């Protein structure tokens, strides 16, 4: 008997598209964006009538900085679904990034026809009107935004900028102050308000704002330059007029707006949306090192290490972001367990900023972590020779000597750090604890540690040191009192936990001590401490100890 002929089953296009869509979503969740792009391309090919698929593919193209392709796909999504607000907002952003401001404005206007309360459209459309010099429509649009969202810092901020650019200084000041009511420490608002005060010939108010800014960012070259020019005493009419002209140059640049929105997404942890915003800015301004640094930082947060390294590496040596970019590359390599690759990156950063104590300490710590303790010591010795009055370098060198078991050299450097800076709380505590741990000079140790605590009363490690002085004196109840507080503040640090357990043993609380020793053992990463803790646990469990003495 012959077999029956089986007709082939044709898969409906929408079913094939759904399969590719699901595969793309899985790839996105795994941060495999190349695969996700290919799957969405296949999904679109299977079902070209789906606006959602075109929109998703466009978003991936934006992420890869493939803006012409993103523009094509987003336009198709809008053509297929003209009421799709999200697609129109994306289309407007792409058009703006490509320099097609008129077309972008038309899309934002269409969005507001569909969704009159859309905050993003109001903000970007107002910025674009301002860029075009259409201040009346810019003010109208941004005022509507502040009415829709009375808590929009960016809305009031850009309203202030537009008023300033239009020479409407009273209105600008009012808008900036509204923004500051919502965000009192906003540097961008404070800086613009100070410039406004300069233009209005109100130097005292401008100086007050600049001084306020320097408390949060002492290294701001822009603020120091402005403040310096005021201190020189140039208060003449010509100076006031020049400030008016300077304010006229302030553009409500939509790319600047997009950077700030990207930073807000970054602060909120919405890294995908932050990446999209920064990518759009870089499409319009490919040499913007600041935004490239932000984008690379986003990739680092997303654990897309290769993309982060690639963008950090594109920041040139003459950029103010170069050293920080190299440090970030070093951190990424360190996170991956490649200290051999991390160290050269941090060295490049340190070569760019040879007077940066934090970079010196980081490089020394990486040398130490890689087992090159002598290299760390050599580095810090060179820096101390070059900068003998730098108490931070002295402190770091002293700590390295301590790790190298050279107590005398450690103590000498800590003493010198304190002599140079009697307010160096870390050095005060370190020297005090060193004496306490050695069981010597306990009165001096207590005085040093109390001076450190006076500078930082809630530092758990400083309070731990004070408790250890009491322990070494045999005042165990007082030691318990301090060490319990220290453990509460230090967040279950294994050394602090071990100290408290030692004190519990001396006050007859064996079970409490055993529990703390066991907890400390789980968290400890130091070989000597691990062996010591094992010995103490065995003693309390009734087994024969393997050795180890109280910490």
User: Residue 142 domain-assigned?
Assistant: no
Does 322 score more than 90 pLDDT?
A: yes
Q: d(Cα 196, Cα 431) in Å, to the nearest integer?
A: 51
End position of a domain, from candidates 99, 116, 133: 116
Q: Domain containing 88 — which CATH number?
A: 1.25.40.10
Does 11 score more than 70 pLDDT?
A: no
User: Residue 153 domain-assigned?
Assistant: no
User: Residue 279 domain-assigned?
Assistant: no
Q: Domain containing 507 — which CATH number?
A: 1.25.40
Q: Where is average pLDDT lowest: 28-32, 190-194, 440-444?
A: 28-32
For residue 77, the enclosing domain spans 13-116
Digit-coded pLDDT (tens) for 279-320: 999 988 899 999 999 999 999 999 999 999 999 999 999 999
pLDDT at 54: 94
- Per residue, the 3-state secondary structure of 388-424, as one string, reads CCCHHHHHHHHHHHHHCCCHHHHHHHHHHHHHHCCCC
User: Residue 71 domain-assigned?
Assistant: yes
Q: d(Cα 449, Cα 469) in Å, to the nearest integer?
A: 9
* Region 176-185 average pLDDT: 92
End position of a domain, from candidates 73, 99, 116: 116
User: Residue 358 domain-assigned?
Assistant: no
Q: How many domains does the chain have?
A: 2
Does 138 score more than 80 pLDDT?
A: yes
User: Residue 95 domain-assigned?
Assistant: yes
User: Residue 49 domain-assigned?
Assistant: yes
End position of a domain, from candidates 116, 136, 167: 116
* Region 432-437 average pLDDT: 96
Does 390 score more than 70 pLDDT?
A: yes
* Region 491-502 average pLDDT: 93
162, 142 Cβ separation under 8 angstroms: yes
Confidence class of residue 477 from pLDDT cuts 50, 70 and 90?
very high
Digit-coded pLDDT (tens) for 323-377: 999 999 999 999 999 999 999 999 999 999 988 878 888 998 899 889 899 999 9
More confident of the two residues 385 and 247: 385
pLDDT at 260: 79
User: Residue 513 domain-assigned?
Assistant: yes
If one counts every other C-beta atom within 10 angstroms of the C-beta of residue 244, the result is: 15
């Amino acid at each position: 008997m012959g077999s029956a002929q089986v007709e082939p089953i044709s898969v409906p296009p929408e079913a094939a598209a759904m399969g590719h869509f699901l595969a793309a979503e899985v790839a996105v969740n795994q941060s495999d964006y190349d695969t996700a792009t290919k799957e969405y391309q296949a999904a679109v090919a299977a079902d070209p009538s789906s606006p959602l698929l075109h929109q998703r593919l466009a978003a991936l193209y934006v992420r890869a900085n493939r803006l012409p392709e993103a523009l094509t796909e987003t336009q198709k999504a809008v053509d297929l679904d003209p009421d799709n607000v999200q697609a129109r907002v994306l289309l407007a952003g792409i058009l703006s990034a490509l320099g097609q401001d008129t077309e972008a404005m038309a899309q934002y206007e269409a969005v507001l026809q569909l969704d009159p309360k859309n905050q993003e459209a109001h903000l970007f459309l107002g910025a674009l009107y301002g860029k075009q010099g259409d201040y009346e429509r810019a003010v109208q649009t941004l005022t509507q935004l502040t009415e829709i969202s009375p808590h929009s810092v960016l809305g009031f901020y850009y309203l202030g900028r537009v008023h300033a650019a239009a020479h409407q200084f009273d209105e600008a000041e009012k808008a900036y102050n509204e923004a500051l009511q919502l965000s009192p420490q906003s540097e961008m608002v404070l800086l613009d308000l100070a410039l406004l005060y300069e233009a209005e010939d109100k130097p005292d108010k401008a100086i007050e704002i600049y001084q306020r800014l320097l408390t949060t960012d002492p290294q701001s070259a822009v603020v120091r330059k402005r403040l310096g020019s005021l201190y020189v005493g140039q208060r003449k009419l010509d100076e006031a007029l020049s400030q008016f002209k300077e304010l006229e140059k302030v553009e409500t640049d939509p790319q600047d707006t997009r950077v700030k929105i990207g930073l807000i997404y970054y602060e909120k942890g919405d890294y995908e949306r932050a990446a999209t915003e920064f990518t759009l800015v870089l499409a319009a301004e490919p040499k913007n090192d600041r935004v490239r640094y932000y984008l690379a930082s986003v990739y680092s947060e997303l654990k897309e290490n290769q993309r982060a390294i690639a963008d950090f590496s594109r920041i040139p040596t003459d950029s103010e972001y170069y050293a920080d970019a190299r440090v970030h590359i070093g951190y990424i390599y360190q996170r991956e367990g490649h200290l051999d690759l991390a160290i050269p990156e941090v060295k490049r950063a340190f070569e760019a900023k040879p007077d940066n104590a934090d970079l010196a300490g980081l490089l020394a710590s990486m040398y130490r972590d890689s087992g090159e303790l002598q290299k760390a010591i050599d580095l810090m010795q060179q820096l101390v020779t070059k900068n003998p009055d730098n108490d931070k370098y002295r402190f770091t060198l002293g700590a390295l000597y301590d790790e190298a078991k050279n107590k005398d050299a450690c103590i000498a450097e800590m003493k010198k750090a304190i002599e140079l800076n009697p307010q160096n709380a870390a050095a005060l505590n370190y020297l005090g604890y060193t004496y306490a741990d050695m069981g010597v000079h306990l009165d001096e140790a207590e005085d040093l540690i109390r001076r450190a605590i006076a500078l930082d009363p809630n530092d758990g490690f400083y309070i731990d040191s004070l408790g250890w002085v009491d322990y070494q004196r045999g005042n165990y109840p007082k030691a318990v009192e301090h060490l319990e507080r220290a453990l509460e503040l230090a967040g279950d640090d294994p050394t602090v936990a071990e100290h408290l357990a030692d004190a519990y043993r001396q006050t007859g609380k064996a079970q409490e001590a055993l529990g703390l020793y066991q907890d400390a053992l789980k968290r400890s990463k130091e070989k000597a401490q691990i062996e010591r803790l094992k010995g103490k646990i065995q003693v309390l469990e009734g087994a024969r100890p393997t050795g180890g003495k109280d910490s």
